[in-house]
Chain A
Amino acid sequence: MEGLTLSDAEQKYYSDLFSYCDIESTKKVASNGRVVELFRAAQLPNEVVLQIMELCGATRLGYFGRSQFYIALKLVAVAQSGLPLRVESINTVKDLPLPRFGASKNEQESRHTTSYSSDTENQGSYSGVIPPPPGRVQVKKGSVSHDAVQPRTSTDQQESTSPVVSPQQSPPTSPHTWRKHNRHPSGGNNERSLAGPGPFWSPFSEAQTGSSAGDAVWSGHSPPPPQENWVSFADTPPTSTLLAMHPASVQDQTTVRTVASATTANEIRRQSSSYDDPWKITDEQRQYYVNQFKTIQPDLNGFIPGSAAKEFFTKSKLPILELSHIWELSDFDKDGALTLDEFCAAFHLVVARKNGYDLPEKLPESLMPKLIDLEDSADVGDQSGEVGYSGSPAEAPPSKSPSMPSLNQTWPELNQSSEQWETFSERSSSSQTLTQFDSNIAPADPDTAIVHPVPIRMTPSKIHMQEMELKRTGSDHTNPTSPLLVKPSDLSEENKINSSVKFVSGNTVADGYSSSDSFTSDPEQIGNAVTRQRSHSGTSPDNTAPPPPPPRPHPSHSRSSSLDMNRTFPVTTGQQQAGVVAHPPAVPPRPQPSQVPGPHVHRPVDAEGLITHTSTSPQQIPEQPNFADFSQFEVFAASNVNEEPDDEAEKHPEVLQVEKSSDPSGSLRVAKTDGRIEEKTAASAPANVGKSTTPLAPPPKPIRRRLKSEDELRPEVDEHSQKTGVLAAVLSSQPSIPRSVGKDKKAIQASIRRNKETNTVLARLNSELQQQLKDVLEERISLEVQLEQLRPFSHL
């Protein structure tokens, strides 16, 4: 053996190792367990180890003398560097990193950290060097050179506690050890403040910033425990590039990376010791994740395909089962690809798992991908899911599409609703209620088909509603009333499809415009208000309103429904005196432009007439719950001086019409109650209704409420939205009409009672018919089954 020249670091390291192995202090180490374990921990193939032993002469001697041991260690370093084992390489290879011994070192370090106090004899000499327990090791480590590490290792070696090979360290502790060792290499990274379980990123980032010397030290002293090969993403470009800094070869890279990862893990752990939200991703972590994402997918808005992600995360050496679970958690839209947010969430979960945190059953909110703005991926701090929540309403279909994430974001809150959604869709597709809608709705309702997918939406977004409002105002009055029609049927089926009804109604209202029913924008608005209020009330059942759903609007209720009004109107027309009042029978009164907001321009002209009507009703409001709207009528009435009967008459027809149009009585009632409260409290709201400047949202609501109350008054009258518009106008400009109210009140009440009775009768009839229809359909299905049975294999 030629002379072995060792650097100082190597000298120290080797001497420590020798001392460690030389348990008998005989200055020569036999091939005992320690040595064998040490060499095994070097993670070299057996043949290499044998070759090393032969080269160093131990085989010849039968034991490891100090020189042989040193040579062996040097050869181990050579082998780990990937260089061929040659005797000459002992001295020729310069700048060889210290041999890395995974298990042993790990054990030593872990033991060292865990049983810090157990360092006895060496502590005196090394304690000064050994940084304090895994706390801010970095600081010291930064300044510590190999000496700190080596003394520690020697200290560890002196600790004859646990065997060399038994990396049973719990994740928290092992990172600590690494942290200490890796501190100085990652001096630059000390300032990193990683919160939360984000160990991974530090390996990479540290790898990026660590110096070659640091790497060497890492490699020498902080082999990660076999089980905790952190971010041994072997192919990670940043680490590989960094590792290339020192002469370490590919093999070293792997180990160093693992070491680095351990270091960073330690770092992260250290810094993340105090965090309130364990799943929060810090800025640095996120930046790291983003960088990693870029390595796979340069486009930050693009996707990482599943296969690439699989390779990437497999490098983390987590069990496939856990990786599978992480994938399930993080792939929000279930598209088999990871967006940047999903990738960060997955990475974060992997890091957490590596750190020992159990995987959650559900994706934590802070990890939910921000579905609305993928461009916000750069927003490091914005990790909460609320962003998604705000945007989620805008997304409708819960299909496996990009829009799904928005829905998913609402999952934590609406997890239940996701079930409901599913149920809805299934119900809607499988139940017969929707078909009933079709049959019940006036002909030419192709939109009902559209209704099916729409119900998926939980709550119509405000934006959507407003859009609809706009649409409605600008659209014909022939806009679909089917949604409204649907509502009544829905209500009749409430017990079964309560929530789906909401969706349907909401959606249908939102779609609004598909059916060709006579319902004008007002009914739609009513429906809108209804749905909106429904959404406001969450999934509260529509059963709050005692009266059964009003019967579907008569088939005759089409555009010509106004004619019906004529029929009914004569009853009240007589009382009308104002010319304007006479209009409503023929055509829904047009609300005065001044009184009606822009959207309600379509309102019938005789809004004023309505106003007069409504003016009479205000007093009745307190008397009957249905009259809540009349407070608005008061406002309306204030603007007109029509006689009360006229007002009533007009109101009633309008109410009835509205009722029929918007019908889901339950929902209406709910909305009514809401409206009532609002109306009573906000008399100014109706006033605002009249103003065109008012926003779309508020005006419709009061209008609707008014309509609802009117609906209750006249169930059989189904006129249109124009009435509602008129009512709105009326309500807004209603003055209080004190006198002659008593008479009208009674008349109104009587008519209300009558209408209610009619309402209930019709509703009952409706439900019975629907039941019959269901039965018939079931029979049909059974017959079909029998038919199929009769010709079992006819298609053979």
Chain B
Amino acid sequence: MAQFVKKDDDRDEEAEYSPFLGIEKGAVLQDARVFNDPQLDSRRCSQVITKLLYLLNQGETFTKVEATEVFFAVTKLFQSKDIGLRRMVYLIIKELSPSSDEVIIVTSSLMKDMNSKTDVYRANAIRVLCRITDGTLLTQIERYLKQAIVDKNPVVASAALVSGIHLLQTNPEIVKRWSNEVQEAVQSRAALVQFHALALLHQIRQNDRLAVSKLVTSLTRGTVRSPLAQCLLIRYASQVIRESSMNNQSGDRPFYDYLEGCLRHKAEMVIFEAARAITELNGVTSRELTPAITVLQLFLSSSKPVLRFAAVRTLNKVAMTHPMAVTNCNIDMESLISDQNRSIATLAITSLLKTGNESGVDRLMKQITNFMSDIADEFKIVVVDAIRSLCLKFPLKYRSLMNFLSNILREEGGFEYKKAIVDSIVILIRDIPDAKESGLLHLCEFIEDCEFTYLSTQILHFLGVEGPKTSDPSKYIRYIYNRVILENATVRASAVSTLAKFGAMVDSLKPRIFILLRRCLYDNDDEVRDRATLYLNTLGGDGSVVETEKDVKDFLFGSLDIPLVNLETSLKNYEPTEEHFDISSVPKEVKSQPLAEKKSAGKKPTALGAPPAAPTSTVDAYEKLLSSIPEFSTFGQLFKSSAPVELTEAETEYAVNVVKHIFDKHVVFQYNCTNTIPEQLLENVVVVVDASEAEEFAEVATKPLKALPYDTPGQTFVAFEKPEGVPAVGRFSNVLKFIVKEVDPSTGEAEEDGVEDEYQLEDSEIVAADYMLKVGVSNFRNAWESLGPDFERIDEYGLGPRESLSEAVNAVVNLLGMQPCEGTEVVAANSRSHSCLLSGVYIGNVKVLVRLSFGVDSSKEVAMKLAVRSEDESVSDAIHEIVAN
């Protein structure tokens, strides 16, 4: 025993020898008192600061009092002339990040150092001061900072520029005033000063496209002294390319020659940055790609792992969009499969999967299986994605690929990884009919031992949709019912729903399902019991083998075509009375989402298809407004309100926009008017509408606006009658008529007498899209199938030459005014064809689904195939008419 102890001691001493052995915060804080000695021992002070820094670095924290004490003691050290000690003082001040009232203590010392003759002091004092300073202090030292930016010592200039970059986040208005000095520093002969100046100048100007473009133009012609600055310039140049290509499709890409030239730079960092920039160009052509791919290919056989990794990661991305361009590198990629670095090997294999041919699949799969357990989850997801696209490319290989997926599904892994696998299997089941049965069984086995509630419920839902359509639905029941016995309440509830779906769809299974559902009536969770009760009652509780009625099926399993947010608002507004809540009163309009939300939602497309959440609508507000006007109260239920359309130019005397409200038999124009002249008061404001170009419309009512004072928006309305249920279109010319009265700006009082005047507005239009509600469906494929081919109308159209495919898609989507589904409105860059799925509700509450297939040829000639399904033949035809006209 004693021996053991001794041994341990020995080893500890040997391994743990450190100058900081047994260091304690309390003792070090005691030591810090030497800072207060009248005769400073600078060596000892340095040691104590190092110890303090060591403690902070190890994650030790100081209390507020301790930190303040140390800080005050440290400020005394400015008396010492010792350069080394001063540097340590700078370091600890930055680490202690003093509060603003403490900062004042050191400000004068630091400002003195900023103007010192010693360059080291100047540079460091600037960095420290800018780190701890706030806005008010900054204005005091601004003058010195501007000087420092153009200081002839590069270290000082860099310190000021880098501090500027940090300060731009907190005090942009001050830093922006330095642009002349920064501009001068960009021309500096010192390599890194130029780099820092360029970074700061770009950040100051980043919102000014023209300035950025000029900056890039001048520097690409001038001298760039450091590889880092060259990398920055490449980034800025590609930004300019990206922004200019939006306006200008034709001709040569600006700065491409510059990027290509950088491929021959002597620094690898620059070569790589340029190659990567080229591969990321929007709509890059294979001719543009070739030189970049060539240098990346050379990097693949480099002895440096970092270079190999960088190259293979970039090529891997290129392989997703331009597999053909990467095939030249396949031989080099093959040799990377056995790379020591697993990340490189994974990226090489996944690139090969994307570019390889069918015969190589099995061999690659074998190699992947060997090292799947060695790599991180992020890379496993990369592999899974590659496998999925491979399987879609070579459907005949589904068996080995599906096997692979099911094997890795059984192994350990985090949620994101498992989700990627499940999503892939779901997609394969959907797209490859042969893979359905085996895929479903793999999923069933997975939920037998799945720790993620989210995945279990998603799979159960999917089973309920796909399971009943298989040849032997009964074999899935066991797996589903096991969930009811073994899992948590959420999973149990969704298992009950799935069981009910089997019961509803497969009549022969009904009696057995009913027995299982009845057992769920005694579950200890409310939701599970409620669901079981609901299903038992609606499906006909006697359990006989009968066909389930169609409307019951629709009620239970049809998709909810109302945006959930709208339903939520309506339910919140509903007050419990005698009258039941009517779901048909919930507005169906999907309001377009704010851009930020779209971005985050678009990041991760969900394969299992969740309907996009819609934010609250303004429909309610319009409805309330209109029903409060007696003239319009008889028009009935509001079908749709358009977005406001401006009828005046911006910055004119009177700003008017119109909102079109569509009713079954009527159309109401709501003119929102704003008077932008302080010296005027408008009275009796009306819009006189000439409907001579809109034959089917007849004016029935006008509601004038009594008074329109300065800057207070008001509304006037005009209502038209139109044939019931008919999507009549027309053009209306508008004139604003009013009595104008002068207002004395000093008193705000209007003169008694006014003058009649009128003001010409732009025309407004009622178009077919106004009769279409944007209503999304959660699963387009299911919705499409359930509508059936009875009223399907298919035709082809030539759209003529178009600027781009995505422009053509947008034009058609806007023309029809329908809701794009499943993100299909986004056209992949550079693609030659695209399909887009749209859904909506046409006036008369007729559900409409549209499938658009676009193709574009080399002369930008766009052709479109339009397939419409709806609940009404005439509506299907009407959609075609909209496009045909």
Q: Is A bound to B?
A: no
